[in-house]
Structure 1
């Protein structure tokens, strides 16, 4: 049986790490390796995508106390290897199906949803998003004016994209606030808004957020 990669080492934490330490590590590592920090045609993209998926798989297991307990038992019984890469298809000696990893498509979907949830939490912590209740009583995390101010300061092209590819180079807090009102009126969550931004602007937001999160979590 092949030795399996240590999920604790994937996140860079001790096997004795608390759940909060695991969550903090996921924030740092997912932001650092997110594929959108490089262009779609970048040579780095495939490796980043694999690393991002690996981080999400590790967090999926270790963030849940029951799955973590089962993994710890398997880890001690079968051994682990820091250099072993998690296979994309779920093959190998480790019983991935027992932890709900499923198919590659399932893993990718879960990774997006998992990151989206934590991403919105990070934005709320930085004052870039807040919870709002829609007409149907559902709670969504919406962008704040501060979020749009940052986006507004990135590039005129990004702002043109947000308002429907309209020409012109708007910038600054005033433009950001106006665009925030336009987007909020459509009832989209902040993560949905993020996914619709051009790659260069997603990369900028991820980099800035990564710097803030790293400073916050490492300073504790």
Structure 2
């Protein structure tokens, strides 16, 4: 297999990191590398997508105690006493270290990997939104708990706020104003019963980028103690 990454280096944590430290590192790394932080036609997007996938691979492996234990054993056997000093990119020959046990290569597994990445990031994303007051956990009609967007969420992406509606009504002529305002309010009604991540995925790419940037700023500020 081609050169692979040291998953601890990918997340920027030590091999002795706690599970909470790994989780916090994933929050930062996933927001930093998420492809939606740049326009869909940006030349940076393919590289960001690759980095985001690598971050998800690392978290998938290290967030589970059994997978992490197996990975640590294989990693220790491969690197020996120099494991703390290895570079992020491992320049060893293909097949020397069983990275395939932890990687997700192969075209037949790509769809499975994408679904896993989406579910994994979606769960952490909703957690971060709840921490910032942009989502609340509520029960649906069947009693299942899920996160739903708050007004703060819509305010951040510019979908709805008193100021936004006031601007629309004051500046868009007649019937068009009512239609635009109605669409904005309708977006909130349509979101009822949906998870906040599902709503996020349905937003225009520019709004997703704005929300990710806002959330990243808060997460990084908290991490730095600002």
Normalised to the residue count of structure 2, the TM-score between the two structures is 0.78
Are 1:13 and 1:21, in contact at CA under 8 Å, matched by a contact in 2? yes
**Residues 1:98 and 2:105 are matched in the alignment:** no
Aligned positions of 1:133-152 closer than 5 A: 133-152=139-158
Larger radius of gyration: 2
Alignment match of 2:136 (pick from 108, 115, 130): 130
Q: Give the CA RMSD over aligned residues.
A: 3.0
Unaligned regions of 5+ residues in structure 1, if any?
86-90, 161-166
Change in CA separation of 1:42 and 1:92 when aligned onto 2, cut-off 3 Å: farther
Are 1:143 and 1:180, in contact at CA under 8 Å, matched by a contact in 2? no
**Residues 1:182 and 2:189 are matched in the alignment:** yes
Stretches (4+) displaced over 6 A: 153-156
Aligned to 1:195: 201
Unaligned regions of 5+ residues in structure 2, if any?
80-85, 169-175
Aligned to 2:216: 210
Give the Å deviation of 1:6: 1.1
Aligned to 1:69: 69
CA distance in 2, matches of 1:51, 1:122: 20
Are 2:151 and 2:160, in contact at CA under 8 Å, matched by a contact in 1? no
Structure (1/2) with the larger helix percentage: 2
CA distance in 1, matches of 2:74, 2:140: 44
SS at match of 2:89: coil
Aligned to 2:29: 29
Give the Å deviation of 1:154: 8.7
Are 2:191 and 2:199, in contact at CA under 8 Å, matched by a contact in 1? no
**Residues 1:107 and 2:113 are matched in the alignment:** yes
Give the Å deviation of 1:105: 2.0
